[in-house]
Amino acid sequence: MNVHLYDTTLRDGAQREGIAFSVEDKIRIAIKLDEFGIHFIEGGWPGANPKDTEFFQRMSTVTLSNSTLVAFGSTRRANTAVEDDANLQDLLKSGAKVITLVGKGSAQHVTRILKTSLDENLAMIVDSIKYLKSKGLRVFFDAEHFFDGYKANPEYSLRTIESAAEAGADCVILCDTNGGAMPDEVTAILRASKKKCKTSLGIHTHNDSDLAVANTLVAVQAGATQVQGTINGYGERCGNANLCSIIPALKLKMDIDCLTEGQLAMITEVSRYVSEVANLAHDSHLPYVGSSAFGHKAGLHISAMVKSEKSYQHVEPALVGNSSRILVSELAGTDTIIYKAKERGLDFAAQSAEAKKILKEIKALESQGFTFDDAEASFELLLHRSQPDYHPPFELVDFMVIVERHRRHPTVTEEGALSEAMVKVRVGDAIQHTAAEGNGPVNALDEALRKALTLFYPEVLAVRLIDYKVRILEESEGTEAKVRVLIESSDGEQEWRTVGSSTNIIQASWIALADSMEYWLVGQRLGNNRKRKG
């Protein structure tokens, strides 16, 4: 069975709240989707806005290797000749060889929204498809609101897709536009449609009931040969069907060769690439492609995973370009410690007492507010510090932070405050005492520590703090509450996260900040170019 993949990230996906693709963004995504192997890429609605019109103009000079670019538009307006319809003329000017036309598949929408007759709607569908076909174009017809329309008036909804097929549509796509259909309804309606419609059928679902992927897959089982969706499920309201879940299911679960194995292995990369271009944080809990999709935290699970990776994973992560992650937490067992130590070249297998000691320390620290499943750099330092021959690259002797309201200071605004930190650290037998000002107490601490360490480790200037998060752990305690600080750092090539916890936010910040520097310096000392997130 052949199933064609149709991506509408650049149109439907762009309707998600918070997304505003530039023309350059759209071109970059289109090129990545082509590399991935998507069969049809819907680029937008030419004529609807200047951006989409420019996109098609610029894409005319881009050669796609695997994909066909599709222009989207609507059937002609009511009581308007096709030659006089501006939308259809803009579609012709786009240069696209495939056009997707949206038309009403619901009687209620025809009479209440379009304010025209049922017969005129059928004429709009037929006239528009025939006109574009006469120009040598392939035409897909999106039957909008088809499932809701079918449930209210099945005879008319079937007439819309029959008319489209008879007019020459190359594929008719049934749309669950409001996202409210149930899988059994999709199956029954698609089978009934297949008996009436003498052309290929496709499926286009929305996720308002959290069933878009399920509805797409049952539609394929019922005979749909084109699936429409978006990368990461981006789209209006609750989003569209997520191709990053659909494609692996088709390939790995249903034995449908919609992509090659090599292309499938790109899917995690593509998912993260599109989220980056969209300027959205990648959802770590997405199936298949999320960083937590194959993350294991419970001690019982990890113990089984050590013996067989298939024990708690439904597919091999590498097939979708992802990897397993064993997480460290208070839920872990000694097998977790041994496994993670082995990952870092430390052999604890013959030292179970040492693994138990580290596990006990982790449980104690987590009870105090620390967390290590999202701060593996701090966990790695616990492993190193447990070694009898470990010598830290530096040790804190003392630090002090001053926050002062000082209107006359040249770096302070009228409503601002001056932050100054003094840090004293020991490196070997030498003690360095430095001070620095900063934009807030944590920045001042960072600057003072960096200033002290650069005298011994000039390369530490490459390290930058790129994210800083504070969480209050017991809100009922008010300003006396314990806080957790997570710091993410980078040297331009790798990123890592460290954690600190205390009732004093400055102390918690210092712990996380000092761990970040120590982790990086240890990595440099070991010649360990760690590219993963820690």
Which residues does 526 contact at the CB level (< 8 Å), separation at least 6? none
Q: How many residues does the chain have?
A: 534
Instruction: Give 398's Cβ-side CA count (13 Å radius).
Output: 7
Q: What is the pLDDT of residue 372?
A: 77
Helix or strand (DSSP H, E) at 507: helix 505-526
CA 511/CA 501 separation, integer angstroms: 8
Q: Which pLDDT tens digit goes with each residue over 280-289? A: 988 989 999 9
Least confident of 144-153, 393-402, 520-529: 520-529
What whole-number percentage of the chain has pLDDT above 90?
68
Average pLDDT score, the chain = 89
Instruction: State the average pLDDT over residues 220-244.
Output: 98
CA 291/CA 520 separation, integer angstroms: 22
Least confident of 73-82, 191-200, 267-276, 326-335: 326-335
DSSP notation for 437-473: EESSHHHHHHHHHHHHHTTT-GGGGG-EEEEEEEEES
CA-based nearest residue to 90, from 124, 33, 43: 43
CA-based nearest residue to 143, from 221, 217, 204, 218: 204
Q: Do domains 4-277 and 395-526 have the same CATH topology?
A: no
Name the token pair of 23.
């023309």
CA 228/CA 70 separation, integer angstroms: 12
Q: What is the pLDDT of residue 375?
A: 77
- For the cut 50, the answer to whether the pLDDT of residue 143 exceeds it is yes
Helix or strand (DSSP H, E) at 22: none
Q: What is the pLDDT of residue 161?
A: 98
Higher pLDDT, 321 or 472: 321
- Within 10 angstroms of residue 399's Cβ, the number of other Cβ atoms is 18
Class of domain 395-526: alpha beta
Higher pLDDT, 457 or 353: 457
Q: What is the pLDDT of residue 534?
A: 43
- Within 10 angstroms of residue 312's Cβ, the number of other Cβ atoms is 15
Of the pLDDT bands very low, low, confident and very high (cuts 50, 70, 90), residue 530 is: very low
Higher pLDDT, 405 or 79: 79
| Residue 13: DSSP 8-state | G
Backbone angles phi and psi of 408, in degrees to 5? -85, -10
Task: Please tell me the CATH code under which domain 4-277 is placed.
Answer: 3.20.20.70
Q: Which pLDDT tens digit goes with each residue over 12-23? A: 999 999 999 999
Q: What is the pLDDT of residue 376?
A: 84
What string of H, E and C letters represents the secondary structure of 163-215? Answer: HHHHCCCCEEEEEECCCCCCHHHHHHHHHHHHHHCCCEEEEEEECCCCCHHHH
Sign of the alpha-carbon torsion through 212, 217, 109, 180: negative
Q: Which pLDDT tens digit goes with each residue over 289-336? A: 998 888 766 656 656 666 667 777 899 999 999 987 666 655 556 666
Q: What is the pLDDT of residue 299?
A: 57
Q: Is 227 left (phi over 0), alpha (psi -120 to 50) or beta?
A: beta
Residue 106 Cα to chain centre, angstroms: 34
Residue 492 Cα to chain centre, angstroms: 21
Q: What is the pLDDT of residue 407?
A: 55
What string of H, E and C letters represents the secondary structure of 346-360? Answer: CCCCCCHHHHHHHHH
- For the cut 80, the answer to whether the pLDDT of residue 412 exceeds it is no
Of the pLDDT bands very low, low, confident and very high (cuts 50, 70, 90), residue 160 is: very high
CA-based nearest residue to 137, from 163, 167, 107, 158: 167
Q: What is the pLDDT of residue 298?
A: 62
Q: How far is CA 138 from CA 39, 118, 141, 169, in A?
A: 14, 26, 10, 8
Q: Which pLDDT tens digit goes with each residue over 373-409? A: 777 888 888 888 888 888 999 999 989 998 877 555 5
What whole-number percentage of the chain has pLDDT above 70?
87
Q: What is the pLDDT of residue 531?
A: 41
- For the cut 90, the answer to whether the pLDDT of residue 177 exceeds it is yes
CA 275/CA 256 separation, integer angstroms: 27
- Parse the chain into domains and list their residue ranges: 4-277, 295-366, 395-526
Q: How far is CA 7 from CA 149, 239, 346, in A?
A: 24, 13, 46
CA 162/CA 159 separation, integer angstroms: 5
Helices 334-343, 376-385: crossing angle, 10 deg rounding? 90
